[in-house]
Amino acid sequence: MAPPLDVVILAAGQGKRMRSSLPKVLHRLAGRPLVSYVLATVRALSPRTIALVVGHGGEAVERALSAPDLVFVRQDPPRGTGDAARVALAVVPDDGVTLVGLGDVPLVPADSLARLVAIAREGRVAILSARVRDPIGLGRVIRTPQGDVAAIVEERDAAPAQRSLNEINTGFIAAPTPLLKRWVEGLTPHNAQGEFYLTDIVAMAVADHVPVEAETTTDEASVLGVNDRAQLADLERIVQRRMADALMRDGTSITDPARIDIRGDLSCGRDVTIDVGCIFEGTVRLDDGASIGPYCVLRDVTVGPATRIEAYSHFDSVQIGRNCRIGPFARLRPGTKLAEDVHIGNFVEVKASTLGAGSKANHLAYVGDAVFGSRVNYGAGSITANYDGANKHRSVLGDDVHVGSNCVLIAPINIGDGATIGGGSTIVQEAPAGQLTVARARQVTISRWQRPRKKPKTDQGA
C-alpha cells in the first residue's frame, strides 16, 4: 500500500512588489484567489492533510479559504521557505510523503505533481524544474557532469557560471516525510538573504545518498509565479486564452479570444456567439444559439436558447428564457426572470420582476418588484413606483395589458387582464380588466400668457 500523501502550501509571503494591503495569494486571477488554483490542483491528488502556511494578512487568508480539509499554520516572523516548511511539518504525520509547493504558482499541472509524489513514494526526493528562456531572479538547478541533480542555488548566491544555466526551480518538492523533517531541522541561514531555504535540502539529500530526481517541464506558463501586478496581468491573459480555446473547441464562436474575461464558470451550448469585450462572472450558462453582443457584463445568469443580447447590457443574477431580445444598454438586476420571447430594449432597467411570454418593455423604462403576465406592452418612460421610502411594494399586470408612455404605476397595484393605461397617467388604484384607464391632469391653454424675456445686456464700460 502506497504511503499517504500530505501537502504543505507556502502562502505566508507579504508580496512587497504587489504594493498592496491584500495578501499576495488573495489577489485574483480570472476571478479566483491565486492560491485557490494551487489548492484545487493538490486536492485532485487526494491528500490526507493540506497545511497552508500563512503570515502577513493571515486572518484574511483564513477567512477567504476556510475549509474542512485545510489546516492553517502561522509563520511569524517570516524567515524563509525552509522555516515555513518546518512550521507546517509539525502538523504532518511521519508515516507518509509530503509535497511542498508555493501558493503563488497557480497553473502548475496536477499530473506533474502526481509524478513528484510517485517518486517520493519510492523513497527519493523529487523536484519540479523548468527550462526557461529568461531565468533571471530564479533559483538554478545544478547538475553533475553525469546529469544528476546536485543542488539548487538561489540567484543571489549563484556563481556567474551557475547564473548562465536555464533550468530553474519551480518551488515544488516532494520527499518521504521523515527525511524531509530531518533535513528541514538541519537548515541554516547561511546565504545572501539570511533566511532558511527549503531548496538546501536537495544538497543535503545528495550528501545522504538519497537520489534526487527532477521532473522537468518546458511549458513555462505552467510554472510562472506572481511577484508583481504585471506578472499577474500576464497570467490573466494566459488563463483567459486557455478558457476561450476550450470553449471554441466545444463549438462556441468568440470574435476575439484576446478580448474576453471569464471570472467564474462559463458554460455554452452549441452555436453560441460572444462578441468582444464581454465579462462573465460567477456561474453563467448560455444555451444553444445564444448571442452576446459587445461589452456586455453577465454575472450569475442563465440565457435561454436563441436569445440575443445586444451591446453594453449588464445582467446580475437573472434567468432569461428562449428567443428573447434584450438591449442594447439594458440592465437586469437580481431576481429578474424573463419567459420566452420577451423584449427588453435600450435603457430599460428591470429588478426583482417576472415578465411573462411575449411581454415587451422596449424603451427608457423601469420595472421593479413587478409581475407581468403574457404579452404585456410597457411604454417608453413608464415606471413602477415600488418604494415608498421605507418598504418595497409589488405591481401585478395581467395578460395583454398595454401601458402607454410616461406612466407611473404606484405600487401596490393590480392591472387587470387586457387593461389599457393611457399615456401620461399616474395610476394609484386598481385598473379593471379590459378597460381604458386614464389618470392625468386636463390640458389647459392660457391664451394671453407670454414667455418671460431676458433683459438686454448693458455695456459695462471700458
Strand 28-29 with 395-397, pairing: unpaired
- Closest CA relative to residue 414, chosen from 430, 400, 393, 399: 430
Taking each helix axis from N to C end, the angle separating 34-43 and 110-120, rounded to the nearest 10 degrees, works out to 50
| Integer Cα distance of 192 and 253 in angstroms | 52
Bridge partner list, 314: 297, 331
63 CB contacts (<8 Å, ≥6 apart)?
none
Element containing residue 84 per DSSP (H, E):
helix 81-89
At position 104, the amino acid (one-letter code) is D
d(CA 403, CA 78): 67
**β-pair partners for 388:** none
CB of 41 closer than 8 Å to CB of 119: no
Q: Which residues contact 96 (CB under 8 A, 6 or more apart)?
A: 3, 4, 5, 6, 48, 176, 177
Told to judge if 363 belongs to the known catalytic residues of this protein, a careful annotator would answer yes
Within 10 angstroms of residue 191's Cβ, the number of other Cβ atoms is 16
Q: CA-CA distance, 307 to 326, in Å (whole number)?
A: 8
The amino acid sitting at 319 is Q
What is the C-alpha to C-alpha distance for residues 358 and 259, in angstroms, rounded to an integer?
Answer: 33
Q: Which of 27, 314, 363, 393 is catalytic?
A: 363
Catalytic positions, please? 363
